[in-house]
Amino acid sequence: MTERMETRLKNLAGLHFEDVPYSLEVIKARGVIESALLGECKRLLKEGHGDAEAFEEIASRYGKLSAMAGLAGYTEEDAARWRTGEAVKDFSLVRRETKRQRRRIYAFSLLSVGVLANCFWLIYDLFAAPLSAVFVLLQAALLAGLAALVGRKFLRLEKEYETALYDTKSYLYFRRLADRYTKRRLNGIALCAALFTVFFVVEIGFFLFGNSKPAELAENVFSNIWMFEIPVYLVIKNFFCFRMAQRRIGFPDRKACRKHRNGILIFSVGYGILTVLLTVIFRKFLGYGSNGLLAAGFALCMFAYDMTLRRKLTDQNLVVNRRRLTIVLSAFALVFGYRFLQRDTWYTQPYINSIPVVSHEDHKISYDEETGVYTITASGEDFKILHLTDIHLGGSLYSYRKDLKALKAVYAEIEYTRPDLVVVTGDMAFPLGVMSLSFNNSAPVGQFAAFMRNVDIPWAFTYGNHDTEDLATLSEGDLNELYKSLSYKTSGNLLYPYVQPKITGRNNQLIEIRNPDGTLNQALFLIDSNAYTGEGLNAYDYIHDDQVDWYEREVERLSAEEGHTVSSMVFFHIPLQEYRTAYELYEAGDDEVAYFFGENNEKTAGKVCCSDYPSGLFDAMVSLGSTKAVFCGHDHYNNMSLEYRGIRLTYGMSIDYLAMPGIERDKGQRGAELITLHPDRTWELEQIPLAEITK
């Protein structure tokens, strides 16, 4: 008999039950009648009837419910009794009551998981913290009491529903629920069994064959119980929802369900043990992704089961809920995409490993543990500082080609100028996700630190607005700790302070450049211009008053120690508002501004992307008379150098190949600046365009 014929016979029986109220007795009778019709059809087919002829014969003989009942061994009185439905529940009421029961199941399941978790912790606390055990016991008792109240209400109503009569609409509703929770129950059992097996086999394996002690085993088991609370909750919830639907319509068959459940348990536990054994036996050959492959294998096995054997338990094995599927896939894509964009990737490492040391003068570097100040004592006459800005490393596979270009550009600048110190004014990383397809800011930092370690030239930096974006892998605190781990005591060339002044900013530091005789040549202030104010999109922050106060105190301290007003330079990322003022005066032809070199080609209004908040730093610099040169980045197409009120305001030529659309093709803005310090505290500034040194 074909599957099509079976379906036609079941539909024929269903037609006669459409106006029959559904109860457990009626549903059982319908199943018996369907089996009897199938048996009759098989008999007719054996006698030589064709499919169409056999179906017509059955339809004519058993065209009434009473006739079908007689074929199945029931009486006409039974058929008549089935049709009486005086107490049939209204569908809207059925659905409303069922939703209430499901909410009770959810509450009971949550409370049950809470009781189980507290029972586990009670066992742990009895040995580790007896005083805490009393509190845990009381908590478990309270949750158990609440669970009993909810469960009692649920069971009382279930007894009332066992004798209820339902119309076809209600019956189909419960069929859908039964299908849904049959599938969820079986798959949840598989997941939970596999998780428990792998976890406990691994932990017990470490205990028996490793160096794990009983206390460590107990701590690992109990501290990781939280990983199983959600799967256990789902198993409990799906079990009771399944039983609720199954009790009302007797579908699917409970004996068959038990067989499937037992089979899935055996398979899941076996697969979990096999996974652990394979990992142990072939650990020398299995790569990083082997666990993912083994998990994928389990998922494929369960999918094959869902597509084949599970069909015997369900009315509709696969039901596509487009809305739910869209929500689930969207959530998965967001989570997976976010985690993917957070990955540490080191695609540029082969190039970094191939970089030779750039020869330069060897200078004495010392660090004050109390103040966090680095002092570089020059060994020769002149001291050269290379100013770089806006390198914008993405650290992803997508940005690899541009990251490589950026590192090669930096190396070309360093090799050409052979500086004694490199200062980067922010935006070393670009963890924005848009142009780099990465939220990772740890890999770019590690890559550039490794790059500079191989170049073997001392370097320092200020933070930019992109270095610690909100969605970046590392927070400001995390990145600070990473830089400390890569700093001078480890690398021998990153001058990142282990101690910083307690003022606004992610890093504010002072580096002293001294002549061979110990006199101060220049004080280099690396000040954090901060990132965003949080008041809107690209609302840039500024250098705050407490940072200005710190700058003033340090200048006055150094001047007092040296016996004269010291010479200093200031480096930061986001330009001060005075950069815009100076440019506007220059455009107007005002004599108060002196032009040296460069162009401002940013397309934004005013050509200068500074904060809307004024900073007191520029006025403080003018008042103290110490600082004669200021360097910043941020505006990638601006590289002009102007003198305003006795202070040289210079934009750094950017390195960026990544952050701005089309900037990879542009060349005129890319390069660096070389600052040459002379022993008499005078200095020279030269622009080093990349295009000129790579011809």
- Residues 412-423 have pLDDT tens digits of 999 999 999 999
102-147: pLDDT as tens digits: 999 999 999 999 999 888 888 877 876 787 888 888 999 999 999 9
pLDDT attached to residue 4: 83
Closest among 258, 325, 23 to 161, alpha carbons compared = 23
| SS percent in the chain: helix, strand, coil, step 5 | 55, 15, 35
Which band of pLDDT confidence, cut at 50, 70 and 90, is reported for residue 288?
very low
Say which residues have a Cβ less than 8 Å from residue 592's Cβ, sequence separation at least 6.
585, 644, 645
Closest among 111, 104, 264, 112 to 183, alpha carbons compared = 264
Task: Please name the fold of domain 349-693.
Answer: Purple Acid Phosphatase; chain A, domain 2 (3.60.21)
pTM of the model: 0.62
Measure CA 602 to chain center: 34
pLDDT attached to residue 134: 87
Please report the beta strands in 380-420, taking only residues with DSSP state E, as ranges in sequence order: 383-388
Q: Which two tokens stand for residue 81?
A: 């009794």
Contact 644, 581 (CB under 8 A): yes
Name the phi and psi angles at 538, rounded to 5: 55, 35
Q: How many residues does the chain have?
A: 695
Average pLDDT over residues 488-492: 94
Percent of the chain whose pLDDT exceeds 70 = 94
Average pLDDT over residues 477-502: 95
Q: Which residue has the higher pLDDT, 397 or 658?
A: 658
pLDDT attached to residue 87: 65
Peptide bond preceding 252 in cis form (omega within 30 of 0) = yes
565-585: pLDDT as tens digits: 999 999 999 999 999 999 999
Which band of pLDDT confidence, cut at 50, 70 and 90, is reported for residue 100?
very high
Name the phi and psi angles at 348, rounded to 5: -85, 0
Contact 544, 616 (CB under 8 A): no
610-635: pLDDT as tens digits: 999 999 999 999 999 999 999 999 99
Q: Per-domain residue ranges for the chain?
A: 3-83, 88-319, 349-693
How far apart, in whole angstroms, are the C-alpha atoms of residue 155 and residue 30? 27
How far apart, in whole angstroms, are the C-alpha atoms of residue 417 and residue 387? 11
Average pLDDT over residues 525-532: 96
Q: Which of 40-44, 203-207, 240-244, 384-388 has the highest average model confidence (pLDDT)?
A: 384-388
pLDDT attached to residue 86: 59
Q: Is the pLDDT of residue 210 over 70?
A: no
24-33: pLDDT as tens digits: 778 788 888 8
pLDDT attached to residue 209: 67
Q: Which two tokens stand for residue 498?
A: 């282990």
634-656: pLDDT as tens digits: 999 999 999 999 999 999 999 99
How open is the CA angle 268-269-272, to the nearest 5 degrees? 85
Q: Is the pLDDT of residue 11 over 90?
A: no
Say which residues have a Cβ less than 8 Å from residue 545's Cβ, sequence separation at least 6.
616
Least confident window among 428-442, 445-459, 680-694:
428-442
How far apart, in whole angstroms, are the C-alpha atoms of residue 210 and residue 216? 11
Mean pLDDT (the chain, rounded): 89
180-207: pLDDT as tens digits: 999 999 999 998 998 888 888 877 776 6
| Amino acid type, 295 | A
Least confident window among 456-460, 466-470, 559-563:
466-470
Q: Is the pLDDT of residue 286 over 80?
A: no
Closest among 658, 110, 61, 601 to 399, alpha carbons compared = 658
pLDDT attached to residue 511: 98
Q: Is the pLDDT of residue 671 over 90?
A: yes
Percent of the chain whose pLDDT exceeds 90 = 56
Contact 452, 421 (CB under 8 A): no
pLDDT attached to residue 292: 67
pLDDT attached to residue 215: 67
349-359: pLDDT as tens digits: 899 999 999 98
Least confident window among 40-49, 383-392, 491-500, 514-523:
40-49
How far apart, in whole angstroms, are the C-alpha atoms of residue 389 and residue 413? 12
How far apart, in whole angstroms, are the C-alpha atoms of residue 250 and residue 248? 6
Query: Residue 623 class from Cβ within 10 Å (0-12 exposed, 13-18 middle, 19+ buried)?
Result: exposed
The b/e string for 391-428 (b: 16+ C-beta within 10 A; e otherwise) is bbbbbbebbbebbbbbbbbbbbbbebbebbbbbbbbbb
The gap between the terminal CA atoms of the chain, to the nearest Å, is: 82
Q: Which of 111-115, 285-289, 471-475 has the highest average model confidence (pLDDT)?
A: 111-115
214-250: pLDDT as tens digits: 766 676 677 677 778 888 999 999 999 999 988 888 8
Closest among 306, 178, 312, 305 to 246, alpha carbons compared = 178
pLDDT attached to residue 212: 59
Query: Residue 482 class from Cβ within 10 Å (0-12 exposed, 13-18 middle, 19+ buried)?
Result: middle
